[in-house]
Amino acid sequence: MLGQFILRRLIVTVPLLLGVTLVTFMVSHVIPADPLMAILPERAANDPEIVRMYRERWGLDRSLPEQYLFYLRNLLRGDLGESYTSRRPVAQDLRERFPATVELALAAMLYAVAVGVTLGIVSAVWYERWIDHLARVIALVGVSLPVFWLGLLALQLFYANLRLLPGPGRIDPRLTAPPFRTGFYTIDSLLAGDLALFVNVISHLILPGMVLGSYAMGIIARMTRSALLDVLQADYIRTARAKGLAERRVVLGHALRNALIPTVTVIGLTFGSLLAGAVLTETIFAWPGIGRYAVDAAMKLDLPAVLGVTLLIAVVYVTINFVTDILYGVLDPRIRAQ
């Protein structure tokens, strides 16, 4: 039954992704500017021969429907096209940059879930006590502080002033990156057998991870708190308590499991936004991820790059939704049964 469920979800995915490419393609072409005129340097833009060469190279001399079909045909072969600005395959650009973003987003998520869920439980259990108020303030601060401000402040405090944590970048500027295998520095440094580098990589993840994860942390804390409070009012909890179960087991064993369902949804959705929206964190922390790549590509009218990133993020969202749905089933057998 689970297999059927997965299959159904997969089939829905195909038209969804097609729709994403079509919409992005159309929107990008609505901009009344010629990408070549924006990309080529002064002299080249003035040279009809060079302009013609690039127009041909990128298929811009064809009609719009032709260009779109051309794109789809290449896509089936796993070819995302060539970036106008980097003049390299978009797939290669993404391959190099996506692991950096995923690594950062995972660090952020780890922080957000650990701190957020803990704060949420503490708040709900000690409802309306001082510790609840404190936890709620922390969550509120996490949700409301602008990331760029938090990032600059955190760097100034922990790096520039206190010198407790390393500065921007995925490793210390004087070190050399591990040989590229997975693109995850944590894994690559271990594969290279360089433990010192691994420690350096981890230490570089702490600050940007906390900054990027602060918003998700706040949301998760609030969501966990309200869901847990709801559940704690439920009849079965009263029953459990009446049976003389230890409060600890009531909360962690019975209530939390049900309270986590909305939290899992939030975790899934915020993880997607962490991947897609880390632009400022990536800028401030000199992090070579896809957030900045997407913004740069959009600003330079680099259509294949924009399409590539959009598609990648769409795939990520679809995957996360998919995983979230399955997790629901695991957490709540009633959903599985439907």
Q: Which residues bind another protein (CB under 8 A)?
A: 31-35, 37-47, 49-50, 53, 85-88, 93, 96-97, 145-148, 152, 155-156, 159-160, 163, 167-169, 172-174, 176-177, 180, 215, 273, 277-281, 283-286, 288, 291-293, 295-296, 299-301
In the block, residue with structure tokens 């833009």:
45
Cβ-count burial of 184 within 10 angstroms (0-12 exposed, 13-18 middle, 19+ buried)? Answer: middle
Whose Cβ is closer to another protein: residue 105's or residue 228's?
105
Q: List the Cα angle 151/153/154 in 5-degree steps.
A: 65
CB of 48 to another protein, least distance (A): 11
CB of 228 to another protein, least distance (A): 25
Per DSSP, the three-state class of 89 is: strand
CB of 259 to another protein, least distance (A): 24
* Tally of residues, the chain: 338
DSSP state letters, 242-279: HTT--HHHIIIIIIHHHHHHHHHHHHHHHHHHHHHS-H
CB of 182 to another protein, least distance (A): 15
In this structure, the number of other CB atoms found within 10 A of the CB of residue 206 comes to: 16
Both tokens assigned to 103: 């690594």
Whose Cβ is closer to another protein: residue 50's or residue 245's?
50
CB of 169 to another protein, least distance (A): 7
H or E element, residue 25: helix 2-30
Whose Cβ is closer to another protein: residue 263's or residue 281's?
281
Per DSSP, the three-state class of 167 is: coil
CB of 62 to another protein, least distance (A): 20
